[in-house]
Amino acid sequence: MSEPISIPNSQGLKKGLLTSTANMDGVRVPINRPLFGDEELKAVMSVVKDTNLTSSNLEGGKKVREFEQALASYLKVKDVVAVNSGTSALLSSLMAADIGPGDEVIVPSFTFAATANVVKMAGATPVFADILLEDYCIDPDDVAKKITEKTKAIIPVDIYGHVSKVKEIKEIAYAKNIVVIEDAAQSLGSMDKGSYAGSIADMACFSFYASKVITTGEGGAVAVNDQELARKLRMIRNHGMIQGYDTTILGLNMRMPEVEAAIGVEQMKRLESFIQLRRRNANAFTEKLRECKDVVPPYEPETKRYNYYLYTIYVKNPRDALMQRLRGAGYGAVVYYDTPVHMTPYYQKSYPVSLKNTEDAAKHVLSLPVHPAVKLEEVEEMAVLVKSFGNA
């Protein structure tokens, strides 16, 4: 599927370096790369010169409020609460929902460990559900099977920028008074039936880590449509305080610094142009790989719009050989996630479970660079390498 796009003026954009634990020697096109312009640099310098680097006020600092308003307006939600990481967004959401010891929270295993870790940090028990191979997101049918009297929350994860079946999960959850917290860390700007990812769940958590579609360096946010819940989240991010040393509920220091928020304000202005370029590259990939019998490109239904945070293919042939071939040519192909959370040493002992689709995906998925700095000729070269590998 192709679509007309306008290419933003990239003059003045600075390419950041994204570090990884993977061996990326010789890679010239990393899997993701933050892009900054003069506007971000000026915004940071303005905060530094002003010396108001953070604020312990309930409402946050000036730039934090501006960033929250920009996000809320974009997502079409009533409120957004900015915090210092995507992990903090998840943890504060569980705390706001009064999740604790004795409670169960249903999560996918095919994701970053933070989704399960915050459940443990809240004192609750993670219950792992399987995924759908069509989009690698949590399977609503398996979620329904995993619900017990102890289930207090469900956390669907919008993996790779794909959008979970949040509306279906809400229908399952609401009948049993279960909270739905969408992990939208990877899906800012993705859409389902005209609604933005993060605008439907009780709470939705975003991340602005250096690899994300927009970045503040670190940072996160919770989107909500309940103003009382938003107020509670603001208290939780600020040691439960309202005015001064008057801790009223349990909280931590999860505040977003003003410098990060200032970067976020400028990055929000670039968000749609970044997504357009990601979609241009992704659509070019899909078109070129359509006839490749050994590779399954990501499927985007007509009712959805993906931001293509990661362009992830399913490789039928030995995946690692293709990954090394791409890296040898300078392209940072990466596997997310070769070890599902339930198979990591910490969780495998205490939470033994068999998840057929999750374990299958972990053996076959491979993510390719499609970020805004990737050129169409580079997409062409990667596609040729993939196709020739499959036909070899």
Check residue 51 and give left, alpha or beta (phi > 0: left; psi -120 to 50: alpha). left
| Residue 365, SS3 per DSSP | strand
Are residues 289 and 78 in contact, defined by beta-carbon separation less than 8 angstroms? Answer: no
**What's the pLDDT at 11?**
41
- What is the average pLDDT score of the chain? 93
Q: CA torsion 209→213→215→218, rounded to 10°?
A: -10
CA angle, residues 264, 267, 272, in degrees to nearest 5: 135
**CB neighbours (10 Å) of residue 96?**
28
**DSSP class of residue 137?**
S
**CB neighbours (10 Å) of residue 175?**
9
| 218 closest CA partner among 44, 87, 112, 85 | 85
Of the pLDDT bands very low, low, confident and very high (cuts 50, 70, 90), residue 391 is: low
- Write down the residue that tokens 């689709």 correspond to: 357
pTM over 0.75: yes
Q: pLDDT above 70 covers what percent of the chain?
A: 93
What ranges do the domains of the chain cover?
Answer: 14-34+271-390, 39-266
Q: Across-strand partners of 183?
A: 157, 205
Architecture per CATH, domain 14-34+271-390, reads as Alpha-Beta Complex (3.90)
**What's the pLDDT at 19?**
34
pLDDT per position as a tens digit, 27-77: 999 999 999 999 999 999 999 999 999 999 999 999 999 999 999 999 999
Q: Say whether pLDDT at 156 is over 80.
A: yes
As a whole number, mean pLDDT of residues 310-332 equals 96
**What's the pLDDT at 389?**
85
| Residue 138, SS3 per DSSP | strand
Q: How many CA atoms lie within 13 A of 272 on its CB side?
A: 7
State the sign of the Cα–Cα–Cα–Cα dihedral 320, 325, 326, 330.
positive
pLDDT per position as a tens digit, 209-235: 999 999 999 999 999 999 999 999 999
Alpha-carbon distance 125 to 141, whole Å? 20
Are residues 119 and 127 in contact, defined by beta-carbon separation less than 8 angstroms? Answer: no
Which stretches within the chain are classed as H helix? 38-50, 62-75, 86-96, 114-121, 140-146, 166-174, 227-236, 258-289, 319-328, 345-350, 356-364, 376-390
Which DSSP string do the residues of 303-361 spell out, in sequence order?
TEE---SSEEEEESS-HHHHHHHHHHTTB--B-TTSS-GGGSHHHHHHS----HHHHHH
Structure tokens that stand for 305 in this block: 């719009």
Structure tokens that stand for 323 in this block: 């990954």
| Residue 191, SS3 per DSSP | strand
| Residue 158, SS3 per DSSP | coil
- Best CATH choice for the domain 39-266 from the list 3.40.640.10, 1.10.274.10, 3.40.50.1820, 3.50.50.60: 3.40.640.10
**What's the pLDDT at 291?**
86
Structure tokens that stand for 184 in this block: 């939208």
Alpha-carbon distance 91 to 96, whole Å? 9
Alpha-carbon distance 384 to 382, whole Å? 5
